[in-house]
Structure 1
Amino acid sequence: MTDTELSAVLRRVGLTSAEPPSVAALTRLHQAFVERVPYETVEIQLGRVTSLDPAESLARILRGRGGYCFHLNGALAEVLRALGYHVTRHLGGVQMTPDAEPVINRHHLVLTVRDLPDSEDAWLVDAGLGDGLHSPLPLREGSYRQGPFTFRLRPSWIAPGGWRLEHDPRGSLHAMDFAPGPAGMPDFAERHVHLSTSPDSGFVRTFGVQRTDASGWDTLRALTLTRTEDTKKKTVLETPAEWFEALADVYGLTFEPDERDVLWRKAYEQHEAHVNPAVDPSS
């Protein structure tokens, strides 16, 4: 990554200059990234399978878009390396509900940062959970409060040497485990194709965008916009004007006319299928 590219990415997330590695600088970068780069599945809804190449993910982010964990954490790893951090990618997996089995199935890419000059800890860095961490966490067992939410870190019992992040109960998932060893982007290629194209994939079935800030989460699924803080506030965006206004104002996402037509139609049909499952929304 060139200095010009790095400066452009930092401007994209609202930072004015590069800082040398430290806990405070890492925290500022993580917070800025998750606040301004949305977790989104727009390209999947448009029927376009994206590359896992971090350079392409960074280019898409600079165009005002985001992505999901493979894109977001893949790109963030390159930014961190360019800033001088020691970054490792890890294989992860998400446990959606308490009743589900914990897994490390390569459905999630996780980052850790080590050797910070002002910390003996390794740090969990994860911009790819959607409604997830606002700040990085030291890899030490315990509970961590961020805004209205509480997360818990503990050693993973399915991956010796790995770690488990237990989500706040208001989140969209129950927990995430990751393996201790390093991973490369090709390790996620098969799962990326599945998540992007399979009819069983939630990314294919439902339009989704999320972001995190210091006081809560913003989640848009189909036509329902939810703001989660101490409580949840849900709003159904019933017109294209309301829907695209929210996408622009909350997530910074804007679209070409042909993209708008496709995205609104899909989100509307998904919403109708959810609220009226016996009715065919296309009829």
Structure 2
Amino acid sequence: MSLQPYDADLRDRYLRHLGLSDGLGPPSPEALRALQHAHLDRVPYENLEIQLGRPTSIDPRESAQRIVTGRGGYCFHLNGAFAALLVSLGYDVVLTRGAVPSAGDGTAWGNHLVPLVRLAERTWLVDVGLGDGFRDPFPLEPADLPQPPFHYRLEHVAGTLWRFHHDALASITGFDLDVSPVALTAFAAKHEELSTSPESPFVQKLVVQLRRADHALTLRGCVLTRVDATGKASRDVLKQDEWLDLLRDEFGLRLDDVDSDQLTALWYRVRAAHEAWERAGRP
């Protein structure tokens, strides 16, 4: 499966959902930055479909159709859909494999999808599927990358291998990256594993994240964490109404296609997992 441009209707619906009336003109670093900002502002990182037991594919068109109805996804959905949108707007995009938090013994390769954009005689790293990741795209060049409230670093390891170092306050330490282009089908097996295996963190715990201009929000189970210029602060959310209001109002998730019984059942599972975590000493 290769990246194909969207038809005009889906492309335009996607742009409207991002609050953009058009693609911001011809491809440029400035337009690319504005597109990534708009996506991070409007489309949350989330694994609700996995938590609800509703299987998805990583087909960009399917992901985009879900996004324009007010939902999100995780990296295969978000970066896949965004990459296809960029192709639809005339950008030169290739897909590459990441490994979160690192390649280790090699089994993690492909658990993160990373688009690269070839633009203005440089290769740009873009990512709207890292949860609390970087706000601005940046060139594929070794550098320190301050983007408040986080500070990142990109390191060239050797050959096609790179390493992205996240901030100490972030939810992950970073990821390894192999910049060799791959087809979208290279991620299918890992998506199946991450969305169905009992060992998968996406199956084990609900997570919703947003990376805003000056802060990042994460709801992991019943714990809401905010990172901003003042540091990192977390609190438990132990009432169902408050928890659902956070999903809808703070993270902007539309839950029209989930009936009240399903949401209540999900809440009880999330709360039960939180209580078990507390009994284990909150490791």
State the TM-score, normalizing by the size of structure 1: 0.91
* Counterpart secondary structure, 1:179: strand
Question: C-alpha separation between the residues in 1 aligned to 2:176 and 2:254?
Answer: 34
Indicate conservation of the 8 Å contact 2:211/2:217, yes or no: yes
Indicate conservation of the 8 Å contact 2:10/2:65, yes or no: no
> Structure 2 residue aligned with 1:49, among 48, 55, 64?
55
Q: Which amino acid aligns with 1:235?
A: R
Question: C-alpha separation between the residues in 2 aligned to 1:78 and 1:36?
Answer: 17
State the TM-score, normalizing by the size of structure 2: 0.91
Question: C-alpha separation between the residues in 2 aligned to 1:264 and 1:277?
Answer: 20
Q: Within the alignment, does 1:147 sit opposite 2:148 as a pair?
A: yes
Q: CA deviation at 1:35?
A: 1.7
Distance 1:264 1:254, change over 3 A: farther
Q: How does 1:69-218 map onto structure 2 within 5 Å?
A: 69-95=75-101, 101=104, 103=106, 105-114=109-118, 116=119, 119-157=120-158, 160-218=159-217
- Kindly tell me the number of residue pairs found equivalent between the two proteins: 270
Deviations 1:133-157 (A, max 9, x none): 1111111111011122111111134
> Structure 2 residue aligned with 1:21, among 27, 38, 42?
27
* Counterpart secondary structure, 2:170: coil
Deviations 1:225-249 (A, max 9, x none): 1111131122211211100111111
Question: C-alpha separation between the residues in 2 aligned to 1:170 and 1:264?
Answer: 27
User: Which aligned segments of 4 or more residues in structure 1 are displaced greater than 4 angstroms?
Assistant: none
**Corresponding residue for 1:40?**
46
Indicate conservation of the 8 Å contact 1:168/1:174, yes or no: yes
Deviations 1:198-226 (A, max 9, x none): 11111011110011011111000111111
Aligned CA RMSD, in angstroms, stands at 1.6
Question: C-alpha separation between the residues in 2 aligned to 1:155 and 1:220?
Answer: 32
Q: Which amino acid aligns with 2:226?
A: R
* Counterpart secondary structure, 1:143: strand
Q: CA deviation at 1:16?
A: 2.2
* Counterpart secondary structure, 1:259: helix
Q: CA deviation at 1:102?
A: 7.6
Indicate conservation of the 8 Å contact 1:10/1:16, yes or no: yes
Question: C-alpha separation between the residues in 1 aligned to 2:191 and 2:164?
Answer: 22
Q: Which amino acid aligns with 1:93?
A: A
**Corresponding residue for 2:220?**
221
Q: CA deviation at 1:180?
A: 2.0
Question: C-alpha separation between the residues in 1 aligned to 2:32 and 2:262?
Answer: 35
Q: Within the alignment, does 1:233 sit opposite 2:233 as a pair?
A: yes
Unpaired runs of at least 5, structure 1: 279-283
Q: Which amino acid aligns with 2:18?
A: V
* Counterpart secondary structure, 1:30: helix
* Counterpart secondary structure, 1:73: helix
* Counterpart secondary structure, 2:191: helix
Q: CA deviation at 1:162?
A: 3.0
Unpaired runs of at least 5, structure 2: 1-5
Deviations 1:96-144 (A, max 9, x none): 6xxx938551101001000x2xx32210011111110111111111101
Q: CA deviation at 1:83?
A: 0.5
Q: How does 1:53-64 map onto structure 2 within 5 Å?
A: 53-64=59-70
Question: C-alpha separation between the residues in 1 aligned to 2:56 and 2:161?
Answer: 29
* Counterpart secondary structure, 1:233: strand
